[in-house]
Chains A and B, each alone.
Chain A
């Protein structure tokens, strides 16, 4: 009964999506306020129905209802409750339903909080959103239906893929989808603007909070995915340039570019056509990302052949939305009024520089990811594009970009003074040089082989970015130029988006610090140890204390317990394990991780040999957690920016009091 209700709710959601696609757009074309007014209530109703369908699927998983094929194939009755819930989206069908749910959530948010939008824009945005929902709901119902039934239900499910039986599955896909799908709003705004043929600075301000929201989730989602791969896959890499990872990186790069170009549009009414194009590209890349991962096209071109209907459907969705929006863009972009002139050296110029490098980086990742697929599809040749390609192209593009980063926020609009900015960054540059020299000296002192020559320089660059971000805040508060009390007053009076920018840039620096340390100074030991034997890594000794069997709910594990000592003083234990899952006859590695400050000791185990020796791999990863902390700091910056009151135009302004206080303070 629950399965049938879920099925019917999903079907009703599709019917409502069709209404929401047609009626408001018709109203907008005819200038009919009542028809346009249909959009918001229907968007809310659609959320209720898609949400209801999703809740039904969760209930089916929780009660292990094996009369549903999807539950049979991806669930096991002995799994802990949390994994029963997460298995709902740990498979193709369920994850597509999650996608549709997030889409409905964003549609409802626009319906609820879009009160400050002009009627026509709001109606068109929701209609475009509904067209995406229509495509996805049709795709789910016709090719990937999670509610299909089994006539004679089996007594046990085939279990969730063991690699996915991890808390990461609870967090990573929802975050990533919030990011991917959030970009659909920016896309809908862009299409609505093209339909109306009207776009202005106000548009940029309306789109900004939605882009920012999507960007925050995407940032966190990617970071979470990277950390998950790091601890689950068992060999300690945090980024593999794997096509699935690249699929999430591309929309992130495009969204980052979009955020920056939207600022120019909002402030100066310039870069309008470009911003629209970026909004289209960012969402197109999320669509490609979603489908590349979900369709299995990435693992093999033949995935299309195993389920032709699904493949053709996916192709049709990509062609209609990406091709259609780009065609509309080509048709209408010429009509958009341009405005706002600026000199090359200016804030706008810096943001254009940012956009150029970010889009070039996106293109390099795109080529590196899709070229091998295209080649295999056309000629049958298999080639691999690996880290060397990406490190060279992507890294080469990122270096100038991050070097220029501290300059941007310090430049004035329209016409900037590069020399003046350079002078103001002298202190930050000084810090950077000191950091580089200290790092070089320290590495030379610790080991005879000096390590990578470029690493100290890269550390200097990271410090430059961090100090540069702080310089931005200090400059705006006038620290050093005005009295301390006044500086504090100014600091607290700064708009939150200014802090947001500085903190997000700071996050990039922190992340870079982690990346450089981890890749330049990691230590690794591979050994076969018996109980009681010790492996030394860096300053720490690891002793294999015991190896034991433990029973989990739906797996058994073989756990190796290592004692950690530094200079003879015990620092507790670390446990690495191998888990064997009976239902799928699969094993997973559970790496043991101990965090010391920002660094981590990473231990994983391999085969047990007949003579009692156990293969193990221990890695010391200096400052590795900074990689993800940096991403969290970036997201935090985005959140601060989102909280800026300017983005809530139309809301009552609480600034009256502050406005009274500030002029007096500024004398």
Chain B
């Protein structure tokens, strides 16, 4: 909905633009003598020659020759054919047409383009006004910012980091989340929960890969709380990604056996067990653990879950999903989640197909395909990446190393 003040401003501006065209059309204006302007220049040139000669800067002979030349130009100008007279009837119809163009064409073109490009219903949001808004009307981004400002003034307030870290993760600000968890551990002390959270954030940062740092974090968590389900799940994942499937199966099987029957993470663990072909021990269902792994999807640069409908192109993409998006993602069931992961990976594939010169993207894709159990697609992606970096030895080396690690390269008998 367009506010009325904006509508009034647009109306005034349009009227001004139309008037700028109509006003000169309404004036009677005789044609200036075309020759007068030329003659003025030549007369000035003659005067200059005179001045130069009088001041002794130009010998008489040269001055005379130049004078003859300029005079010849003057004569040529004066000889030129005169302007033909205007036909008043035709002139009037021409001007009517031009006026019509201004009156109809300018507003139509302007409104048409604006409907395409504008977002009239969206109010402006100067930062100062947002910071001053009452708390109940404040947006998530501003709440985050207020905590950040507080932390900038009190950098050792661990509580602040602990509050911010999961919010960062949900907003897709993964690097900030990792930093915040690390600070929380530093100022609030170590705990299994914090270590596991840090480890999870590190996994999200590495696009689902359980890196060496993440493993260290999970092991630290286990050292303090040997039952930590999150640490155990991810250590199992690390084993799977390293190709130690038996070990992964052992960790996960033990986790399922230790869990209460209604534990929210059971679905995820069972799916993982199914993926590596291990026998799945009984008990119940339900979903839920590392929803945040999925949230990487909403990171800046990739399209958000629910694309904003009004301001179309990619520039308008908000840097993170809003609170509702996050809520929605958290409430997805296991199947929906799997679908989302699949969608994410497919999008990565599309992006790389369009712009293949992204080595890190390819490495991520190959890994993701392998983790999802899509071995054929992983092999295809590897081949495409090798083709894209055909003349880049270091890229080839990295791709080869990955193929070895995942055992999908030709070296692995493929």
A and B from one assembly?
yes
- B contact residues around A22 at 8 Å (CB): 101
Tell me if B14 counts as interface (CB < 8 A to partner A). yes
Pair B86/A31 contact, Cβ less than 8 Å: yes
- B contact residues around A151 at 8 Å (CB): 122, 308, 310-311, 316, 318, 322
Binds A, one of B48-56, B218-226, B361-369: B48-56
Tell me if A305 counts as interface (CB < 8 A to partner B). yes
Known contacts A8-B13, A69-B315, A153-B125; A41/B118 CB under 8 A? no
Known contacts A1-B5, A8-B13, A666-B55; A15/B106 CB under 8 A? yes
Tell me if A35 counts as interface (CB < 8 A to partner B). yes
- A contact residues around B320 at 8 Å (CB): 152, 154
Question: A629-667 toward B: CB 8 Å interface, digit per residue (1/0)?
Answer: 000000000000000001001100101000100110110
Tell me if A490 counts as interface (CB < 8 A to partner B). yes
Question: A149-164 toward B: CB 8 Å interface, digit per residue (1/0)?
Answer: 1111111101000000
Pair B57/A15 contact, Cβ less than 8 Å: no
Tell me if B355 counts as interface (CB < 8 A to partner A). yes
Binds A, one of B29-37, B238-246, B271-279, B289-297: B29-37
- B contact residues around A5 at 8 Å (CB): 6, 9-10, 13
- B contact residues around A7 at 8 Å (CB): 114, 117-118
Pair A72/B51 contact, Cβ less than 8 Å: no
- B contact residues around A147 at 8 Å (CB): 117
Known contacts A19-B21, A490-B55, A666-B55; A155/B41 CB under 8 A? no
Pair B24/A4 contact, Cβ less than 8 Å: no
Question: B10-30 toward A: CB 8 Å interface, digit per residue (1/0)?
Answer: 100110110011011101111
Pair A153/B130 contact, Cβ less than 8 Å: yes
Chain A, Cβ-Cβ closest to B38:
A202
> Separation in Å of the B16 CB from the closest CB of chain A?
7
Give the total of B residues in contact with A, Cβ under 8 Å. Answer: 93
Tell me if B123 counts as interface (CB < 8 A to partner A). yes
> Separation in Å of the B316 CB from the closest CB of chain A?
5
Binds B, one of A42-50, A402-410, A428-436: A42-50
Q: Of B17, B98, B122, B148, which one neighbours A35 at CB under 8 angstroms? A: B98
Q: Of A4, A33, A69, which one neighbours B6 at CB under 8 angstroms? A: A4
Binds B, one of A115-123, A462-470, A522-530: A115-123
> Separation in Å of the B72 CB from the closest CB of chain A?
9
> Separation in Å of the B103 CB from the closest CB of chain A?
11
Pair A12/B17 contact, Cβ less than 8 Å: yes
**Distance A145 CA – B118 CA, assembled complex (angstroms):** 10
Interface majority SS (helix, strand, loop, mixed), chain B: helix
Q: Of A11, A30, A31, A41, which one neighbours B117 at CB under 8 angstroms? A: A11
**What number of residue pairs across chains A and B have CB atoms under 8 A from each other?**
264
Pair A41/B17 contact, Cβ less than 8 Å: no
Pair A649/B44 contact, Cβ less than 8 Å: yes
Question: A460-490 toward B: CB 8 Å interface, digit per residue (1/0)?
Answer: 0000000000000000101000100000001
Pair B41/A202 contact, Cβ less than 8 Å: yes
> Separation in Å of the B305 CB from the closest CB of chain A?
13
Interface majority SS (helix, strand, loop, mixed), chain A: helix
Q: Of A12, A19, A493, A663, which one neighbours B13 at CB under 8 angstroms? A: A12
Binds A, one of B62-70, B253-261, B404-412: B62-70
> Separation in Å of the B5 CB from the closest CB of chain A?
7
- B contact residues around A305 at 8 Å (CB): 354-355
- A contact residues around B144 at 8 Å (CB): 155
Tell me if B102 counts as interface (CB < 8 A to partner A). yes
- B contact residues around A149 at 8 Å (CB): 119, 122, 310-311, 316
Known contacts A37-B24, A151-B310, A414-B65; A493/B55 CB under 8 A? yes
Query: CB within 8 Å of B: which of A8-61?
Result: 8-9, 11-12, 14-16, 18-19, 22-23, 26-27, 30-35, 37-38, 40-42, 44-45, 48-49, 60
Q: Of B66, B118, B127, B319, which one neighbours A413 at CB under 8 angstroms? A: B66
Tell me if A362 counts as interface (CB < 8 A to partner B). no
Tell me if A64 counts as interface (CB < 8 A to partner B). yes
Pair A119/B32 contact, Cβ less than 8 Å: yes
**Distance A148 CA – B116 CA, assembled complex (angstroms):** 11
Chain A, Cβ-Cβ closest to B3:
A1
Q: Of A32, A70, A118, which one neighbours B86 at CB under 8 angstroms? A: A32
Pair B20/A41 contact, Cβ less than 8 Å: yes
Pair A116/B9 contact, Cβ less than 8 Å: no
Give the total of A residues in contact with B, Cβ under 8 Å. Answer: 97
> Separation in Å of the A449 CB from the closest CB of chain B?
41
**Distance A63 CA – B124 CA, assembled complex (angstroms):** 10
**Distance A70 CA – B17 CA, assembled complex (angstroms):** 27
Pair A154/B124 contact, Cβ less than 8 Å: no
Tell me if A594 counts as interface (CB < 8 A to partner B). no
Tell me if A131 counts as interface (CB < 8 A to partner B). no
Tell me if A306 counts as interface (CB < 8 A to partner B). yes
**Distance A200 CA – B73 CA, assembled complex (angstroms):** 9
Chain A, Cβ-Cβ closest to B309:
A151
- B contact residues around A413 at 8 Å (CB): 62, 66
> Separation in Å of the B301 CB from the closest CB of chain A?
11
Tell me if B126 counts as interface (CB < 8 A to partner A). yes
Tell me if B153 counts as interface (CB < 8 A to partner A). no
- B contact residues around A269 at 8 Å (CB): 69, 73
Pair B127/A1 contact, Cβ less than 8 Å: no
Pair A490/B56 contact, Cβ less than 8 Å: yes
Which of A32, A120, A476, A478 lies at the interface centre, i.e. has the most chain B CB atoms within 10 A of its CB? Answer: A32
Known contacts A12-B14, A14-B113; A34/B95 CB under 8 A? yes
Q: Of A15, A63, A340, which one neighbours B126 at CB under 8 angstroms? A: A63
**Distance A200 CA – B128 CA, assembled complex (angstroms):** 60
Known contacts A16-B21, A42-B20, A118-B32; A37/B27 CB under 8 A? yes
- A contact residues around B45 at 8 Å (CB): 201
Which of B47, B83, B311 lies at the interface centre, i.e. has the most chain A CB atoms within 10 A of its CB? Answer: B311
Tell me if A2 counts as interface (CB < 8 A to partner B). yes
- A contact residues around B90 at 8 Å (CB): 30
Question: B179-207 toward A: CB 8 Å interface, digit per residue (1/0)?
Answer: 00000000000000000000000000000
Known contacts A32-B86, A44-B20; A8/B44 CB under 8 A? no
**Distance A665 CA – B57 CA, assembled complex (angstroms):** 12
Q: Of B31, B145, B317, which one neighbours A33 at CB under 8 angstroms? A: B31
**Distance A101 CA – B69 CA, assembled complex (angstroms):** 42
**Distance A47 CA – B17 CA, assembled complex (angstroms):** 11
Q: Sample 22 A-B pairs with CB under 8 A, ordered by A number.
A: A1-B124, A4-B120, A7-B118, A11-B110, A12-B13, A19-B101, A30-B91, A31-B84, A32-B94, A35-B95, A35-B98, A37-B27, A42-B24, A64-B128, A141-B117, A149-B122, A150-B316, A151-B122, A153-B141, A201-B73, A413-B62, A666-B55
16 other A-B residue contacts (CB within 8 Å) besides A34-B27, A646-B44: A8-B10, A30-B91, A41-B23, A63-B127, A66-B125, A66-B141, A69-B315, A117-B37, A148-B117, A151-B308, A151-B316, A201-B45, A340-B69, A412-B62, A650-B40, A659-B51
Question: Interface of B with A (CB < 8 Å)?
Answer: 3, 5-6, 9-10, 13-14, 16-17, 20-21, 23-25, 27-32, 34, 36-38, 40-42, 44-45, 47-48, 51, 54-57, 62, 65-66, 69, 73, 77, 83-84, 86, 90-91, 94-95, 98, 101-102, 105-106, 109-110, 113-114, 117-120, 122-128, 130, 139-145, 148, 308, 310-311, 313, 315-320, 322, 354-355, 357, 391
